[in-house]
Amino acid sequence: MIDIALAFCMACFTLALLFNFIRIARSQRAADRILALDTMVTNSIALLILYGLFQDTPISFEASMLIAIVGSVSTGAYSRFVLRGDLLVPTLVHL
């Protein structure tokens, strides 16, 4: 019974990933694409956790934590790029 529930949840999150991909492809604004990418990261984390439950392997939980860290950093970088146009912090040089 749990296998059926896991398969259903994996299908739902896969469908959500497909909708996010369509949103990225059809969006005109950068903010919408950033939000869709962040949601894709969240859905891929959920898929990895469900896969770990389905296969009973702990390595997928560690992989999902790594994806969560990279996803949060990349969302911040994308947002900073959209707001400021660059990723580096300008420094003051005193001569």
The pLDDT tens digits of the residues spanning 4-26 come to: 999 999 999 999 999 999 999 99
Q: Which long-range contacts (CB under 8 A, 24 or more apart) does 30-39 make?
A: 30/78, 30/82, 31/82, 34/75, 34/78, 34/79, 34/82, 37/74, 37/75, 37/78, 38/71, 38/75
Q: What is the pLDDT of residues 21-33, one digit of tens each?
A: 999 999 888 888 8
What pLDDT is attached to residue 82? 78
